[in-house]
Structure 1
């Protein structure tokens, strides 16, 4: 993060400038945002990484040092930096932005980093290869399609954990995405692909980045935030 003088207004403007529905335009945006990505998210009180990882650790019974972790939509490597503090050592990262992967490479934590645009290209991961599959923030309208969750399950080992952390962004598209996602999660459970470990909700997932900067300071604190959810599933042994 090279710009140490960024403000919440800068961060909010960055979030709001990514409006294109074209996947390649979004990739170019994230390439340009990579150096300030983590700082801007911190300025918006982004709790998704901790929400997902804390819930995962509440339910992880293996040896972190021996576990293979697939970090999907890995961005700048934030997840690996948090998980390595908990004893995890073996990470493979996937992201659609080369700029983000360049930042992730600087952490020195990933054994492999792979470029793939979720939903447009297959998830570049071997079937049944990972003890933990984690995706934070990317499951939302205009980003990773709901169909990606089957690929996450496919990459996990039998008995492995799939952790998904996402925000409940306001608006019709966000509401529909959540409905479609939870319908697909339930369908996969009924098909015997995995079983739910649990859900964890937060009222303070992050400050809503799409609020008007001029009016946001006038809102009560609780209205400035959107909620979010972590979903945790265990892949079936069969």
Structure 2
């Protein structure tokens, strides 16, 4: 498939998931319905998020510590972030993913120890708190996805001294009503109140097709 055509197909498919007023249940079913297509089109040519996240996490965790670092991959999808981390020596990986179809593909990667079939940020979580050295969320922010309060949940799941990594499309900070004037405001408030401190914030060129991304990394206090 020609690169331009592949990008167009990936962008068109992705837009199905990220639409205003989609309920969590609808989003979950759509991901199951399109899981095979997602796995094919969200590859290293169209989607830089998993690689970028894994590279930044690897910079923070020394090689000799990676096998003992416990990592939670939030909105894990088909396991692309986990595979990138596994390549870099992280072997203690758990996943959070509500979609049955996505989980079926994720399990086949054989890099995750366990998976929690749930949405983050919607209450009633079964995930143990203060458990993880790294909590990473790549691509889980958008219309009908993780709400602003999901950031608090990520902090609660992280051990003191651990890091939270959020990677998302840059434009979502402005065009998604849930996040506009709210997501970064919440992040800053959590820093001012002593819950975490910023390690890194930078834009990612061509994060998804031709769209810029942004990565936030915070250390939990």
Give the shorter-chain TM-score range: 0.7 to 0.9
Question: Match of 1:112?
Answer: 114
Query: Is contact 1:152–1:162 with CA below 8 Å preserved after alignment?
Result: yes
1:32-43 aligned within 5 A: 32-42=33-43
Question: Match of 1:64?
Answer: 66
Question: Match of 1:216?
Answer: none
SS at match of 1:200: strand
Number of paired residues? 214
- The answer to whether residue 29 in structure 2 is matched with residue 28 in structure 1 is yes
Moved more, 98-107 or 164-173: 164-173
Question: Match of 1:232?
Answer: 217
Query: Is contact 2:134–2:163 with CA below 8 Å preserved after alignment?
Result: yes
Question: Match of 2:11?
Answer: 12
Distance 2:36 2:145 in 1: 20
Q: Shift of the alpha carbon at 1:178?
A: 4.9
Question: Match of 1:94?
Answer: 96
Distance 1:15 1:163 in 2: 22
Query: Is contact 2:121–2:151 with CA below 8 Å preserved after alignment?
Result: no
1:210-229 aligned within 5 A: 225-229=210-214
1:89-168 aligned within 5 A: 89-168=91-170
Query: Is contact 1:52–1:136 with CA below 8 Å preserved after alignment?
Result: yes
Deviation per CA, 1:155-212: give whole Å up to 9, x if none.
11110011111112369533761531111111111111111111121232112xxxxx
Distance 2:200 2:211 in 1: 21
Structure 1: segments with no counterpart, 5+ residues: 1-5, 208-224
Q: Give the alignment's TM-score, normalised by structure 2.
A: 0.88
Q: Shift of the alpha carbon at 1:96?
A: 1.5
Give the direction of change, closer, same or farther, for the CA distance of 1:145–1:105 in structure 2 (3 Å limit): same
Q: Give the alignment's TM-score, normalised by structure 1.
A: 0.82
Q: Shift of the alpha carbon at 1:119?
A: 2.9
Structure 2: segments with no counterpart, 5+ residues: none
RMSD of Structure 2 on Structure 1 (CA)? 2.2
Distance 2:161 2:44 in 1: 37
Deviation per CA, 1:106-130: give whole Å up to 9, x if none.
1111111111023334443211111
Q: Shift of the alpha carbon at 1:37?
A: 1.2
Question: Match of 1:217?
Answer: none
Q: Shift of the alpha carbon at 1:47?
A: 1.1
